[in-house]
Amino acid sequence: MLPPGKTLGILGGGQLGRMLGQAAQSLGYRVHVFEPAARCPAGAVANREVNAPYEDLAALTDFARSCDVVTYEFENIPSAPLAAIAPLVPLHPTAAVLHICQNRQREKAWLRANQFPHVRYAEALDGEIAPAVAAVGLPCVVKTADFGYDGKGQMKLATAADLEKASAIFRGRRCVVERWVEFTAEVSVVVARSAAGETRAFPVAENIHTHHILDFSLVPARIAPPVAAAAETLAAAIADRLGLVGLLAVELFVAADGEILVNELAPRPHNSGHWSLEGCETSQFEQHVRAVCGLPLGGVAVREPSVMVNILGDAWRWRDGAVAGEPAWTEVLREPRTKLHLYGKAEPRPGRKMGHFTVRDTTVGAALARAQALKARL
C-alpha cells in the first residue's frame, strides 16, 4: 500500500487527469502532472506540472523519480518511453496493457486470442482495405489502427461507392475493418482491479452518441438485468486476464438477441464513468487512485439513477467563427439535483469537450428527461 502523503504522477494533462488529481488530493496525495502542452487543465490543480514531450527521456526520468507511483489519463502515449521508466517507479496500468489498448489491431487480436466476444473483423495492415472489406462484407466500418477516439479515423461503408471513396481515404494507413453490428444499445462497464486481484465493476452505463461523440450516459442502463450482470462479469474477466492495476473501460454492443460484443478498451478513467462523481458511492477517479496506490477498493452501489451530459464547445454562442457568448450556466446551477463540472480549458472549440453535468432523479427516465431539457436551455 502506498499511503496518503506520497506522490501520484499523472501522464497527460486533460480533464481526466484534472479530475483524477482532484480525487488524489482529496485522499491526501500529492499530484505531479507530465504534459507536453503548458497550462493544461490537470496542471492547474497539480502540485507540480512538467511540460516536455513524452519522448524526452531525461525529463520523463526526472519526473518518474519525483513520484511514488505513475499512471496515465489517456492511452495515446508512446509506450516505448514508458517501458524505459518502468524500472524506476511503479507504473499502473503497465506499459504492456497500454501497448495493447492503444492500437485497435493489437486490441482486436488480443480479444480474439483470449476468446472474448468481439465484433467480427479483418485486418488491413498494408494500407489496402478492399480485401478486408470483402472478408467481413457490407455494411462495415473501417477504423485506423492508431489514434482513434470520438469517431475520429473511422468510416462506415454500405455500398461499393463507399468502398471506392474509403480506399482513397485510408490508402497507406494501417486499419481494421469491422462488420457492422445492428445493436439495441451501446453500453460500457468501468472496472477497477488492484495489484492484490480485488476487482470491482461499476454498474453498466448506457451511452447515447451524437456525431460519434458521447452525448448522454444513463445509469442504470435500460437493459435486462441478466445482460447487465453478464456485461459486468465480462469486464471483470478482461481486467483479470490483462493483469490490470487501475481502471479499464470496456465499451460494448448489446445485439438484438442479447449477445454482448466488446467494441473497445480504454485503460483509464472514461467519459462514460463521469456519472459516478455524484451518482455512486465511489467515483471512478477515486477508485483509480485507490487501485494504483494499493488501497482497498471503494463501494460501487448507485446512490440514485443518474444521467451525465457532455458539454461541447458547440454550447457557446458563435458568430462568424468566433465566440460571442457563454452558455447559460445558471440554467444548470439553479437545479438542486444537478451538478456542473467545467474542465478549465483555455478556449472552446466545436466538438471539444469543455465540461459535463449530471442529473439525478428517482428514475433514470425522469433524469434523462430533465437532462435533455437542461441541455436544450444551456
In this predicted model, what pLDDT tens digit does every residue of 176-218 receive, in sequence order?
Answer: 999 999 999 999 999 999 999 999 999 999 999 998 899 999 9
Domains of the chain: 7-91 (3.40.50.20), 120-179 (3.30.1490.20), 183-377 (3.30.470.20)
Q: What is the DSSP string of 337-349?
A: TEEEEE---SS--
Residue 148: pLDDT band with limits 50, 70, 90:
low
> Across the strands, what pairs with 358?
308, 339
pLDDT at residue 147 is higher than 80: no
Q: What is the pTM of this model?
A: 0.96
What's the CA gap between 103 and 121, in Å, rounded? 14
Q: What is the mean pLDDT of the chain?
A: 95
Helices (H), 137-265: 160-170, 225-242
Measured N-to-C along each axis, helices 284-293 and 15-26 cross at an angle, to the nearest 10 degrees, of: 70
Terminal-residue alpha carbon distance, the chain: 44
pLDDT at residue 288 is higher than 80: yes
